Amino acid sequence: MGEAVPDTEQKIKEAAKRVFLEYGFEGAKIRQIAEAADVNIALVNYYFRSKEQLFNSIYRETFAEFVGKMVVLLNEKTPLEVKIWKIVDRYTDFILDNQMMPAFILTQQRKEGAAFFRELDVRSIIQGSYFWKQLQEASAKGEIRAIDPLQIVISVMGSIIFPIMAGGVLSYIGTFDEQSFRDFIEARKKIIPEMIMTYLKSG
């Protein structure tokens, strides 16, 4: 009996992720989520008092888990070029698997400013990382151009997030179906690190 509660809650979350991805936050209905989870609406409301609470619960938990994994990656003692390639690879996979994450981040920013990221101590995680130190040291030695490491962090994030957020327009322009869209994003795993390293070494 004790295991039934978390199992039901997780089943609702997994179903909700599918519904949110298909219909967006505004278009998704609690009824659709309940049907997708094969539970009644009352049970969804029992665990999550509103659609917004359900949405936030899913993506706060998902993002916090990802940040934990990124801490390990950012602090790996690997060469800078390898590190950038791995960051792009992992972050791309994460955003592809959680395509509502950018919408969640924007929603949190509008409501809370930087509070959610302050709670996770994201600034210290990034600025205190070995990756941040690598960029500073390589710049000081003249191995790469002099640059604020934050510029590289934002370039990586923006290069990955924007195509996902603009997926509908991108699919229209490129005449992509779901698989060819994913193939296009996968190809960027090679393109983005190459562009960044070319820029860093051209100074």
pLDDT value at 2 more than 60: no
The CATH code for residues 58-202 is 1.10.357
Cβ atoms of residues 114 and 36 within 8 Å: no
Name which of 99, 77, 87, 71 is nearest 192 in CA terms.
87
pLDDT-based confidence at residue 6 (cuts at 50, 70, 90):
low
Res. 1: pLDDT tops 50? no
The burial of 123, by beta-carbon neighbours within 10 Å (0-12 exposed, 13-18 middle, 19 or more buried), is given as exposed
What topology does CATH give the domain 1-49? Answer: Arc Repressor Mutant, subunit A (1.10.10)
Residue 75 has pLDDT above 50, yes or no: yes
Residue-averaged pLDDT of the chain: 90
> What is the average pLDDT across 45-67?
89
Q: What is the pLDDT of residues 119-153, one digit of tens each?
A: 889 999 999 999 999 999 999 999 999 999 999 99
User: Domain extents for the chain?
Assistant: 1-49, 58-202
Residue ranges of alpha helices (H) inside the chain are 4-27, 30-37, 41-47, 51-74, 80-97, 101-112, 115-119, 122-127, 130-140, 149-165, 167-174, 178-201
> 13-22, 78-87, 123-132, 154-163: which has the minimum mean pLDDT?
13-22
Domain 1-49 and domain 58-202 have a common topology: no
pLDDT of 4: 43
User: Above 80 in pLDDT, residue 3?
Assistant: no
Nearest CA-CA partner of 19 in 28, 9, 10, 11: 28
